[in-house]
A and B are shown apart, each in its own frame.
Chain A
Amino acid sequence: MNKTWLIIRREFLSRVRKRSFLVMTLLGPILFGGLMVAPALVASIPDGPKGILILDESGLLSESGIQSDDKHELRYLRPLEYNKESALALLKEKEEYDVLFHVPLSESGDPDFWKRNAALYGKEDVSLGLENYATDVLEKAILEHKLLAENVDPAVVANARTKVDLKTFNLSESAERESATEIKIVVGYAAGFFIYIFIFLYSAQIMRGVIEEKTNRIVEVLISSVRPFQMMIGKIFGIGSVGVLQFAIWVILSIVIFQVASSAFLDTQLDPEQIAAGAEVSTKGFDIIGQIESLPLYTILFGFLFFFVGGYLLYGALFAAVGAAVDSETDTQQFMAPLAIPLVLGLIVSSNVIENPHSDLAFWFSVIPFTSPIVMMVRIPFDVPAWELALSMGMMIIGFLATTWFAGRIYRVGILMYGKKTSYKELWKWIRYNPS
């Protein structure tokens, strides 16, 4: 049997048989499923209304009819009975109130005075939610005050306001149908994020595996039987197949758990708006199946498999080289940064690419092999021109071959170096060094 195949087999079996593999494989989907369901569940937990003391010295808020709602319990303090100090004392004393909203008297009658001088006092740090609420309330009151000063009826303005929910169409798609931007965002981002996680998890395992062989000193025993390159490739493919197996199980189990969980909790306990808030699915509630069908499904699937494997191989080889260059995991820091930065950058850029999937930024980051596995996946649901996809894939293959070659040269020298701290200068020598 081929030696590389023997190595792949060992790397695969020794990991799959571990108890931790079984535990992670079973727990993973529970965690994933939990991550998907948890926000919806959390949102469904009833939260009591916040108590707000209002010292409205100029009567601004009460005039615009700001009243308690189900989230905010307001209590207006009479300006004749209270000043700021006594109001603050009351806030400290009464447990049921969280903040004091102080709107001072504007002696000149200038409405912008309130904008500058109104303040919110909390027992602790004021929460963002309360701050937003107070800001909204004050803005509304000031607006009404200004409108009245100009003799405009606020009811007319409120009536004139129109909320628009624009439908968008994509003419390039086969049928003229409503484009499904939200679902594309979810699919693209999820795919990109999956690849990102996969690369990080399993490339790190390759690195640890190489370090383990070095510290065990088995490496020189092996190297008299197999070429360093065979060792490296065997390790990358062996661990990669563990990852593919684990991810396949995760995906299947996650879908099952998500289905079970959503039918158990979501239908009965939550209103549709909250589900939408949790899962970031369209709030419009129209035909999701139809939207999914409008996506370039085969391209997405093919692209995912390609960039999934390609990205892993590209980074896997580099992480193997890092493992070979160091003696222990604590020494990996200096070499990890240049590998982690493009990966993280890919993820950061993705949030911009989602907004504008056909920009120059999106193009370049989806062609450069170090970021393309993530960024291209985010773009594919938005119909990337075929030539761009081909270019990106071609670059990916070239990139993978280049990093493997590069990593192989570091690897074969590095695995036989013990007890020496490696610098970048040293690595460069290894790459140029020609032993045969």
Chain B
Amino acid sequence: MSEPNLPFSILNEDGSCPERYRALLNDADLLAIHDMILFSRHFDRRMMMLQRQGRLGFYMTSTGEESTMIGATFCLKPDDPIFLSYREIGCLLWRKVDLRLIMNQLIGNSRDLCKGRQMPIHFCFREWGFPSVSSPVGTQLPHACGYAYAARELATGQVCLAFLGEGTASEGDFHTALNFAGVFRVPCIYLIRNNGYAISTPEAAQTAAKSLAARAAGYGMPGLQVDGNDLLALVNAMRWAVARARDGEGPTLIEAMTYRMGAHSTADDPSAYRSEEETARWAKVDNLARLEHHVRWRGLYDEARKQEALARHEETVRALIADSECWPPPPLDSLFEDVFEHANAHLLEQREEYLRFLAWKARRRAGEMAEAARG
């Protein structure tokens, strides 16, 4: 397979683009994506605040990388499965996953589809094509290959997309998955968000190679490196990869060069390992800023529209938080369910023993209170 001659970047510094690429996205789609990135960033900001207030256990922002995830999702059909790494909330937002369900997962309340069993951000929304996120990085990559193999066998026409960070490209599962995907020629796209850092470890400490996309040659598939902060370039590359996969021509590896503008997670402080100058340099080429230049260049956007959007997004998030905070934690029984289809004798006994303890504890508390009342 030959590498296509796709441009690394399309958007110019002033927001303009070559005329021939303008049709990549029509005005309505462009505005919708821009608005969703704006929302995603606002959502991140509010969730960080919530975490700092102690109302959310943990959070991970995707600030700086929104074009990569939303642009990639835009290029797929709604039923194409997306295997998330963890920093891709934009994919859920673009597919219109019920925002209340997202909030319920973050809080882990009784309305969480996953029954409060995972940390925030470890999403799973089958109805919207999102298999379950886990913390060990890279494990989702062979799943995407297997799913794509099955999709071809079942003739569903689906194409799989799997996200990973550049740090994850050091894991064995990356090698294994891409090797399998190449051998079985599955309809699957592996998309690396190269955001420069795996927690504190810079890319240069992950690999001596100049490009992760170049590894594709070793797996018998094309590899593309694109400007992840350039929505048009990302969409251009994704569309090419999706068309190949849909036509039965096999997998593609895409490396989107971007920058993690926030911390790794709420438990991380990037000032310990990277300079403000570096962050400021990247802020100038932030994907949202560049996209805003572009929509303004097309004459689709102005300050009034921006203010209107921000106010709308704040109202949406505020209502969401209020709704999800009013639900209790999941019921205790859910702790013992779904390990297997039916709880086995061991689990039932452990549950019974724990309920016995709770009853004893309640009696003990009641006794203490009665004694305190008497005394």
A binds B: no
> B-side interface residues toward A, CB under 8 Å?
none
> A-side interface residues toward B, CB under 8 Å?
none
